[in-house]
Amino acid sequence: MEGSAQRRAAVCAYAAMRAGAALEPYAYASPELGAMDVDIEISHSGICHSDLHLIDNDWGVSSYPLVPGHEIVGTVSRVGTAVAELREGQRVGVGWLAGACLECAQCRRGEENLCRQAQPTCVGREGGYATRIRVDSRFAVVIPDSLSSAAAAPLLCAGITVFAPLRRAALKTEAFLGVIGIGGLGHLAIQYGKAMGCRVIAFSGSAAKAAEAQRFGAERFVVTSKRGALDAEAGSCDFLLSTVPADLPWTAYLNLLKPNGSLCIVGASPGEFKVPVVALIDGQKNVGGSAVGSNAEMRAMLKFSAEHNIAPMVELFEMKDVNRALDRLRGNHLRYRAVLTNRI
């Protein structure tokens, strides 16, 4: 009887009750623990710009009440009967994915992030702005001891989002990496690029971020709002990573690439990507995108971050102050990620 009551104990959370609404206290009951599931008592939950898109239903996939949050760090409190790789008391993290089919061609190749049946952590299920979460244990990763929980949380989405495409690109030492946008994603991309041996050029419309970008590891800082700034950098980059959720003058950015260079888009830009075909043919340039990362890439990212002392710049808020944190994000006032904490 006591065990059954524990399984059905309410999870305390914060939820949007309708599109665009401020978050309110919300409680829900967890179902029975599945054989491969784990319960995680949440200590830290990062705030991602994707959470705002979900709160506002910008992508048309939200249902309400909606509990956001997909940058989650906490302690395993219960394990299912078939769980072998995790144990109670371990500190783990959960990112955008809480599950996948693990049977399709993509999953068999270790690309769970591309699975058609992938289960986002906070779409159609409650996310991490809460005291506890339940996920498939195979999508909970152990956090290295040297990473603080506050630093690790944003790495589980922002970190993997920029690390994975850079790792796949296998850029040569001294390759020129251009990072477009110095925000929650971009400031981490600079750090990863520098640690991978790249020479990093930061592109931002805000001159006020120059000193910070250089501290993160940028060799040069280009203020894109200045007339002629992009033209002056023509042919300067082997690889461009666009981290901003904004429509950009894509042809001008393709002009920054060297022959055989690549542009990778990870910022969820609105609208369509339109460039003249000749802009791709001339110089054999490539354009692609990247969606978070696989389980293996997540583990590699955390290991790399720990080894190279890579961490986000964060502002901490108590969970009860979630709306204040979201307001700072909406107003573009954060430097550079927000993390919610539970007093447990």
Give the pLDDT confidence of 176-192 residue by residue, as tens digits: 999 999 999 999 999 99
Q: What is the predicted pLDDT for the residue at 3?
A: 45
Residue 268 is predicted with a pLDDT of: 84
- What is the mean pLDDT for each group of 10 consecutive residues in the chain (344 residues)? 50 97 96 95 97 95 97 98 97 97 97 96 97 97 98 98 98 97 97 98 96 98 96 98 94 97 92 92 97 97 98 98 97 95 78
Q: How far apart are CA 250 and CA 229, in angstroms?
A: 14
Domains of the chain from N-terminus onward: 2-142+313-341 (3.90.180.10), 160-289 (3.40.50.720)
pLDDT at 271: 81
Which of 11, 48, 49 is CA-nearest to residue 344? Answer: 11
State the Rg of the chain over Cα: 20
The reported pLDDT for the residue numbered 9 is 67
